[in-house]
Each structure stands twice: as C-alpha cells, then as structure tokens.
C-alpha cells in the first residue's frame, strides 16, 4: 500500500500570496479575452461580407486584418515596456 504524504502541522504558516504575479496573470488574461473578442467580431463580419454581402474582397480584407491587428498590438505593447 502507498504511503500517505506527511500532513502539515497546525503551526506552519503558508507562504504569502504573490499579488504582483496574480495581477500580471489577470492583466494577461483580460488582454487575451479582449483580442479574442475583436478577432471573433472581425471573423463574423468577414463571413457576412462573403455570404450575405456578396463582397468577397471586403471579406478577404477583414480576414487579413485579424493577424495584422494582433501582431501590431503585440509589437506596440513590446515597445511600451
């Protein structure tokens, strides 16, 4: 039978939470969600242009705008820091 891990004693205090790391992770998550929403909106608009609007050139330009905007945001963000 496997040995049970040693339990922590009641007098041991867990280490303090790293709030700076937590805030950084939260900001990163919010940025990811924001750019995901922008990409989804552009995708929906480009699909509308392809299917309903009968404008494949506009749809193609919108689809090409997705990676350009994301790469541009990453480059501008790296310049700020």
Number of domains in the chain: 1
Is the pLDDT score of 78 beyond 80? no
Q: Is residue 34 part of a domain?
A: yes
Q: Is residue 6 part of a domain?
A: no
Q: Is residue 58 part of a domain?
A: yes
Determine the average pLDDT of the residues in 59-71.
Answer: 82
Q: Is residue 44 part of a domain?
A: yes
Q: Is residue 75 part of a domain?
A: yes
Put simply, whether the predicted model's pTM sits higher than 0.95 gets the answer no
Q: Is residue 1 part of a domain?
A: no
Residue 78 to residues 17, 63, 73, 74, Cα–Cα distance (Å): 27, 24, 9, 6
Q: Is residue 5 part of a domain?
A: no
**40 lies in which domain range?**
30-80
Q: 5-47, pLDDT tens digit by residue?
A: 666 566 676 677 778 888 888 998 998 898 889 888 888 888 8
């Amino acid at each position: 039978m496997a040995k049970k891990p040693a339990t922590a004693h009641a007098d041991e205090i867990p280490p303090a939470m790293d709030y700076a790391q937590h805030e950084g992770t939260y900001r990163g998550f919010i940025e990811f969600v924001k750019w995901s929403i922008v990409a989804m909106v552009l995708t929906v608009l480009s699909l509308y242009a392809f299917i309903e609007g009968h404008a494949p050139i506009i749809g193609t330009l919108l689809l090409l705008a997705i990676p350009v905007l994301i790469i541009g945001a990453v480059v501008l963000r790296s310049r700020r820091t």
